[in-house]
Amino acid sequence: MTSPVINLAQALIQKPSITPLDEGCQTLMAEHLTKIGFNIENLFFVDTQNMWARKGSQAPLFCFAGHTDVVPTGPQSEWKIPPFNGEIKDGFLHGRGAADMKGSLAAMVIATERFVTKHPNHKGSIAFLITSDEEGPFINGTTRVIDVLESRNEKMDMCLVGEPSSTTTLGDVVKNGRRGSLTGFLTIKGVQGHVAYPNLALNPIHLAAPIIEELTQTHWDSGNEFFPATSFQISNINGGTGAGNVIPGSVEIQFNFRFSTQVTMEILQQKVNDIILQHDVKYELNWIKNGLPFLTDSGPLVDATVKAIKKIQGLDTSLETSGGTSDGRFIAQTGAQVIELGPCNATIHKIDECVKTDDLEILTDIYEQILIETLT
């Protein structure tokens, strides 16, 4: 099977662009976009290749966003088809990144080619914001490009991120927001000693126990129409020397909040501090702010996406905010409407990642229809 979108998706998969490498993927995309009038701006920061491509200078600015990097393959011997071959078998395109998200990138490019050819005098502008560090530390990618755009007051009005949002059928789920993520690193300090002489020591694990109980029982918020209640989860606890007869001197607790738009990072941080202080312990608490929540509950982009999916797939899509984080969190902070729409996510990050070839054709049609709905 050959078609423009399948050919491009195969070519992208065949480039082993494990984070933060791009391996020429963006160059390949740029070759297509240049031919239809896009200006290409390559933005390299430290170890990350980024591309800002734009056609037009008028509002509204519609942007496709995505990433060319992929997660490691794991043992390649366990793949039925080598992960960077981009082979088609039984109606599926196989390879690392097929669903997350080189298939989406190919669909974006081909949809834009079709749209620009059919509607050369379309209103507004079209852009692509592509990075190679979404699967990594997200330090030198989209967030740095956003800094550049903000410095020159170049604003996106609408942004479609090609993350694999669908669950069982292409287009059944659109992400119109994501929860925020906040990680805490808590160290409770005690006094190391012999377990036979607890009067000469202070067990930090015992001190931590009532704090943990209170944190896990606290009601942080009730969520809202689009978000579940904020979740507090402990992911790691480390304490002890490994010896069975030693009371440790400290215990380290790592935890994470996935939070809604009903609460802020600052409120969560303050509540955690207040709870710990009530227990009169010596402690250190550090934070990593992974991302703020965002929500596009209405507007032209949501309306266009719902209409396009209904027209092409005949589905009434579901707007959801479940799942992890994405680069949409950086883009949404600029005031842009942001949604995520891409292939089914059943095989992402797994051995034998794949996507239906028919789904890539349909996704291309949906992307094109969204452009029609927003820019004509």
The residues, ordered by sequence, that sit 6+ positions from 157 with a Cβ below 8 Å of its Cβ are 59, 60, 61, 62, 124, 336, 337
- Residue ranges for the known binding site are 67, 100, 135, 163, 349
Retrieve residue 305's tokens.
């996406």
Q: Is residue 367 within 8 Å of residue 161, measured between CB atoms?
A: no
Q: Strand pairing partners for 166?
A: 344
Sort strands 61-67 and 125-131 into parallel, antiparallel or unpaired.
parallel
How far is the C-alpha of 10 from the C-alpha of 273, rounded, in Å?
51
| Per-residue CA distances from 90 to 65, 86, 267, 354 (Å) | 30, 13, 52, 11
- Residue ranges for the known binding site for Zn(2+) are 67, 100, 135, 163, 349
How far is the C-alpha of 16 from the C-alpha of 19, rounded, in Å?
9
Backbone angles phi, psi at 322, to 5 degrees: -70, 170
Instruction: State the SS3 of 355-373.
Output: EEHHHHHHHHHHHHHHHHH
How far is the C-alpha of 325 from the C-alpha of 290, rounded, in Å?
8
How far is the C-alpha of 32 from the C-alpha of 288, rounded, in Å?
39
Query: Catalytic residue positions?
Result: 69, 134
CB atoms under 10 Å from CB of 151, counted, come to 8
